[in-house]
Structures are given as C-alpha cells and as structure tokens.
Amino acid sequence: MKFITSSIFRSLCSLLVGLLLLFNAQHMPALIIRVIGILFLLPGVFGILTYLISKFSKNAIIRPTFPLMSIGSVLLGAYLEVYPESFVTYLVILLGAMLILAGINQFLGMITNRKISPFSLLLMILPLVLIGIGGYCITHAYDAAETVFKILGFTCIYYGLSDMFLALRNKHYTKVYEREQKKAEEAERRAREAEYVEFEVVNTNENTEG
C-alpha cells in the first residue's frame, strides 16, 4: 500500500497516460470520456434498482425517496457514452488544471524538503514547465483536440520522469541526512560519556584526597 501511494507509482501512471495520449491522441479522449460515463452509469443504475426493490418490497420499513440523483447520473452517463466528443474540451481543461496543480505540488515539495534536499534555482524549471503547459492547455482547450492531447501526452511523460527524478533525489538526500544525524548523535553520546568519565575521575580524586 505504501508503494501505491508513493511518487514512483504516481510517476509510472503518468508515464502510461502520457504514452496512451501520445500514440492514440485521436481516440484516447473519447475513450476516457466513455470510461467516465460508465462510472456515472453504474451507480445510477444501482440506485434505481435499489429504489425499485425497496418500493415493491413488502418487508421494507422505510419507503425510499424518488431517485432523482440516480436518474440524473444515468442520463449523464448515457450522454457521455453516446456523445463523448462534446466533453473533450472539458477534459482538456481538467488535465491542464491537474498539470498546474502538479507543478505547484513539485514546487511546494522543494520548499518543504529544502532542509534535507538542497534547493536549486535550476530545479525550478521542472514545476514552471508544468504550470506553463497546463495554462497553455486551458487557454487553448478549444483548439484542435488531437494537437492539444499530444502536448498533454508529452507533458505527462515529462511530469512522470521529473517527479520520479525528484523522488529519487529526495530519497538519496534523506539517506545522507539520516547518516549525518546518526553521526551527530553518536558524537554527542561520546561527548556525554567523556564528560561523565571525567566527572567520575574528579569525584574519585576528591574523595581520595579527603
């Protein structure tokens, strides 16, 4: 479970999405929209079936309310399945916003870990590229979808590689930091032991002289 929530897994998923968008830019957007449509359809159908079963059940204690939400979910899901192209623009805007958030997240990660992992102005290029392309995709969402999705594909691959690089970099410097901390703790322990031995020697000498 720890691996699933790690940056490496997220980077691999981003690389996969990028490759799919890059090599299937013409059909991939509609496929994604259809998958989203199914995700709306299934809970909607389940909600309607649950309502009908409860309504006609003689053992039901509480009568269910009319499933407006479920019907709306089914209608939206069905529309996405039949007319996925009409939502491609919104998908571009969503992915562009996600790239902007990814860039901000990388920047905040650099700031948060600057005590462990050295902060470099050169590394600022990584999140700035993501934020810039994300903004470009949002402002050009109504352009040719295939071109925009190819740009998104390249960017997802770029994000996956850059995020993996930052994760491995942070891991390396974390190990270095932990080693330095252990050395500092060991030096402090030895210093305390030396002080204690010196104190014992002084006490012993004073008692002997007394």
DSSP string, 69-118: HHHHHHHHHHHHHH-GGGGHHHHHHHHHHHHHHHHHHHHHHHHHTTTTSP
Count CA within 13 A, CB hemisphere, residue 93.
7
Q: Per the structure block, which two tokens stand in for 198?
A: 């010196």
Number of Cβ within 10 Å of residue 5's Cβ equals: 8
Q: How remote is the C-alpha of 156 from its chain's centroid?
A: 12
Distances from the Cα of 125 to the Cαs of 96, 120, 129, 132, 180, in angstroms? 18, 10, 6, 10, 29
Here the contacts of 87-91 (C-beta below 8 Å, separation 24 or greater) are 87/33, 87/36, 88/29, 88/30, 88/33, 88/145, 89/141, 89/142, 89/145, 90/141, 91/29, 91/32, 91/33
Look at 54-58, 83-87, 201-205 and tell me which has the smallest mean pLDDT. 201-205
Per-residue pLDDT, 1 = 41
Whether pLDDT at 18 is above 60: yes
The phi-psi region of residue 102 (left if phi > 0; otherwise alpha if psi is between -120 and 50; otherwise beta) is: alpha
pTM of the model: 0.66
- Say if CB 146 and CB 25 are below 8 A apart: yes
Whether pLDDT at 21 is above 70: yes
Q: Give residue-wise pLDDT tens across range 164-173.
A: 888 888 788 8
Per-residue pLDDT, 195 = 67
116 φ, ψ (degrees, to nearest 5): -100, -50
Look at 28-32, 144-148, 183-187, 194-198 and tell me which has the smallest mean pLDDT. 194-198
Q: What percent of the chain has pLDDT over 90?
A: 1
Per-residue pLDDT, 166 = 82
Q: Identify which has the larger pLDDT, 77 or 197.
A: 77
- Rounded CA gap, 27 and 34, in Å? 11
Handedness of CA 152, 155, 161, 167 (dihedral sign): negative
